[in-house]
Chain A
Amino acid sequence: MSSRFFLGLASLLFLASLAIGGQERAVIEGRVFDKETRSPLPAYISLPELGRGVSAGPDGRFRIALENRPTPGARVKVVAWLIGFKKIEVEALPGEPLSLALELEPLPAREIVVSADSGLGEDKPQAAVTLDRMDVYRMPGTAADPLYASHVLPGVNSPPDASSLLIRGGAPDETAYHFDGVEIIHPFLSQSLHESYFSIFDNQVVEDFNVSTSGFSPKFGDALSGVMDITAKDALFKGEGGLGLSVFGLNSYLGTPLAGGATLIGSLNFGRSELLSVLNGDDGQSFATGNSFGKLVIPVGRAHTVRLMGLYDRYRFSQEDGFRAGSENGFAALSLTSTPSSTFLARLLLSRTFYGASYRQEGVFDTTLSDRAWQGRLEAVLDLDRHFLEAGVDVMSRGQNVSWDAETEDDELVRAGRRAVYVSDKFRALDKLYVTAGLRLSSLSLGRPGWKTDPRVSLAYLLTKKDTLRISTGVHSQYGDHFTLAQDGSLRPRSAYHASLSYDRSTDDASLRLTAYGKEYRSLFLEDETGAGWNNGGRGFARGVEIFIKRRGRKFDVLGVYNSLSSKRMEGDVSVLAPSPYEISHSLTAIVTLKGSRSSLGVRYSYATGRPYTPLEERVWDETGEFYRPLWGEPYSSRYPSYRRCDINGTWNLTLGRRMVILYFGVTNLFNARNILRYEYSADYSVRNNSASIFGRSLFLGLYFPFF
């Protein structure tokens, strides 16, 4: 009996264990992860039919016990969702481990950078190469100038000396500059025959900028190689400012909200070179600068905003030998922006830009230039989530005047009107494929009459949320020098056909971009064989590859850029396809910035292959004119020595009383490398002088008091 009892008890226990085991299996459990990266996701898992749900843990695992045992074989509906990912629904058998892969939600069209733009911004657009604001301040050798800072972006081949941007082998004048929508024709503080130094843009008032090296938006035109688009700070919700004192001078900035939601932004800077010269042992020349910027943002009702802006920049330069140069540069602008809904924006911008420069050598020359323009721009933006539509009209009336010598010769005057219309649609063709297609039509009152049509298409394919492949192609036209166009009424605008392929990998702390591109130049201005006129027979190309790497660590940041370029041009008085004077075959920049809690130290090394120049073969005596004539070699068949420079800078944040003070220093060209920019010859061509970079070893010191 006892054995029967124990057998019965054992059977009961066995059956009970089966039942309990069965209840234990009545669960929905599994793991949820990112379909692309396979990393676990803390998604919310819901059983809508049973009214149950739970968030997965940090390891992506979840387990929901079912209150009632479902019918054997019956499936349960499971929904998984996490913000930013697509919701998925599956049917599951209780007890069967689930693997749920969530896919990213497609991003709205506006959130994707379709062309391979690079720039500065607080927010990193999806998979784009960006510098943040601190990068610009910490970067050695840039003097916190946005133009100098942009030299480290991929596709910009400029050596660190000159401000002008050589984009993918293009000439300096092939880049357009826009500041808050105003086209700035002369963006440089100091502009001379060969080089331009520093920009008129004060980094204190710059909100962000981007540099487009190909496939740029049809809203930008009259540029063959690239566009730098700078946006000034705008509506502020809290006051901010700063006061800086350095061996060069004083700089100040104030941004403050006003009553009624208005904002005032202003900056005022003065600089003189004397103290800098004493510190660095330079003499024989001096310069002074003054720069001011003001912007008033006034909301009118809920849907409209009026903006008034003005920028004025002054530069004076003098040498002991009597040479004097000076310039005045700036603009005034008024804009009205209307946003009747959160998806539609229209903006009207009217502006007046002015530039005047003078170059004088007592008794030798007295040249003055003036360049003034009226601009009007009307643009509309419609955001339909899947489509991001832009259209607009821009017109410009520009007058230029050159007086070679006020006393002896007549002025040269040229006036021109430029008109353009554009339309562009950035749209999501597929979940992961974004397309920008656009068209720009433009005409100029000089040269051959008619409209020039520039179609442009760019594609961005999101391979993963961190990897993007971009292809851009398009036609870009530029009218070129107005004096040349005025000479010959049959000249067409110059054209460049761009094609580029980029791969971007962008994570929270690192960016990589690899690019291959080709640019074919057509209709470049070529001197007639007689030398008396011009034609559109010029052509050329620029082809290359670029590598950009940036990594941000807790203790240090690293940035590296390498550009390789091959470029030839037949242009101007060069009637054969010769190496381009802007061909820097290889350029490399490496920057390491060490970061402490209250200090930073940056080291930058720049290397660039020397640019091509036309060598002097020999000089021959001209019996009739009784002077030496140069006999030049093959055009651009020699190269200047390569360029090398090492810069360092550092900051140290101190607390004085309860205020923060930033002490900063910079050493430009630490090893005092003598970089040759060009050769100049004596009047009889017997002596060749090396014209070296103005950036010898120099020390810069300053203090900055930020206000929050």
Chain B
Amino acid sequence: MNSRSASLFFPFLVAAAVLAATPGLRPEPQTDSRIPDQTAKIAQARDKIQEGWNAWNEEAMKAGRDRLLSLLLEDKGINARQNTYLYYYAGLGEYRLAVHAFASGLADEAASNIARAKKYLEKLFELQPGWGEPYALYAALLGYEIALNPDRGMELGMKTFSHFGRAESAEPRNPRVFLLKGLSLLYWPAEYGGGPDNALVVLARAEALFENDESDDPLKPSWGLEECLTFMARAHVQKGEKEKAMDCLKRASIANPDYGLARQELLALQKDQ
């Protein structure tokens, strides 16, 4: 190599040396054993949110979310894996509060919940990019954002597709990915691939996947079967299939006897008959 061509590579070698000398890379999330006490606290907070969700009780959901925030703020004895669950459940809590606010006609509050939920989930994208479920939750939030800002439908709609696609690609056997997608499809126009028929296909897949949704990890998300069945019922109602709808709602009530929405919709259907 002559001196001229050697000089070509010199600055790059210097740059490479600088790069090599830089401090160590950010550690990957640890998978070591958890401190049971913190695990129990996270599980309690998660259950509090679920309790509020079952009973459509905003205060309980807020209380659960606040417990998670308190743990996030403490940051004591929390390992990396617990930390990802804290962000996940904080995001889920805000998502459910957003749904509550949206259903209650509190658009500003819903927007505020959506914004916070997105931030928790964005943090999760950084912490554990291979986890698909947060992408699905994010996509579902975008659906609510479209409902609040219909003029951004086309722009956010494409992003929604992309996030659901990413979630499916990362976790093709995660029932909640398909549950969240099915819920969204139920309210999308048919020409965008939505509507009750398309939603039912996806929700049925989610239901099938729930059968094998078991884990030894006490913090791993396990919610959703009762919601899946309830929204399958809604899709059937939209198609005029009341018997099928009632069957789904009965199964939803068995899956989670505390889930108020299934009971309420079942009662309404029975009353209609």
Contacts and interface: CB of A to CB of B under 8 A. Distances in A.
Do A and B pair up? The answer is yes
B70 A46 contact: yes
Nearest to B130: A302
Interface string A685-708: 000000000000000000000001
B191 A238 contact: no
B32 interface: no
Interface string A152-177: 00000000000000000000000000
Contacts of B226: none
Interface stretch (B21-29, B201-209, B214-222, B230-238): B21-29
Interface stretch (A3-11, A365-373, A468-476, A654-662): A654-662
B25 A344 contact: yes
Given A54-B66, A554-B151, 14 more contacts: A42-B116, A46-B70, A48-B73, A83-B120, A236-B162, A237-B169, A257-B169, A380-B15, A389-B22, A391-B15, A393-B8, A660-B189, A660-B192, A708-B192
A55 B151 contact: no
B65 A240 contact: no
A343 B25 contact: yes
Closest 3 CB pairs of A and B: A238-B165, A237-B165, A391-B15
A237 B165 CA distance: 4
B70 A393 contact: no
A235 to B, nearest CB: 8
Contacts, number: 130
Interface stretch (B48-56, B153-161, B242-250, B264-272): B153-161
B129 interface: yes
Interface in B138-174: 149-151, 154-155, 158-159, 161-162, 164-169
A81 interface: yes
A389 B18 contact: yes
B62 interface: yes
Interface in A234-272: 236-238, 240, 257, 261
B191 A655 contact: yes
Contacts of A676: none
Interface residues of A, number: 55
A55 to B, nearest CB: 5
B9 A393 contact: yes
Given A44-B66, A555-B151, A423 B15 contact: yes
B123 interface: yes
A343 B112 contact: no
A597 B159 contact: no
B155 A84 contact: no
Contact of A380 (B19, B70, B166, B191): B19
Contacts of B189: 655, 660
B271 to A, nearest CB: 33
Contacts of A44: 66, 69-70, 73
Given A122-B159, A391-B12, A53 B66 contact: yes
A238 B149 CA distance: 24
Interface of A: 42, 44, 46, 48, 53-55, 58, 79, 81-84, 87, 122, 132-134, 236-238, 240, 257, 261, 341-344, 380, 382, 384-385, 387, 389, 391-393, 419, 421, 423, 439, 441, 443, 451, 552-555, 595, 597, 655, 658-660, 708
Interface string B87-131: 000100000000000000000110010001001100100100100
A441 B9 CA distance: 11
B11 interface: yes
B113 to A, nearest CB: 9
Contact of A441 (B11, B25, B149, B155): B11
Given A58-B112, A83-B120, A84-B119, A238 B164 contact: yes
A219 to B, nearest CB: 12
Interface in B1-40: 7-9, 11-12, 14-16, 18-19, 22-23, 25-26, 28
A336 B7 CA distance: 26
B255 interface: no
B77 interface: no
B111 to A, nearest CB: 10
Contacts of A384: 22-23
Contacts of B62: 55
B193 interface: yes
B74 interface: yes
Contact of B162 (A54, A55, A238, A660): A238
A132 B73 contact: no
Contact of A554 (B65, B108, B149): B149
Given A55-B66, A237-B166, A343-B26, A659 B19 contact: no
Nearest to A87: B73
B175 interface: no
Nearest to B14: A423
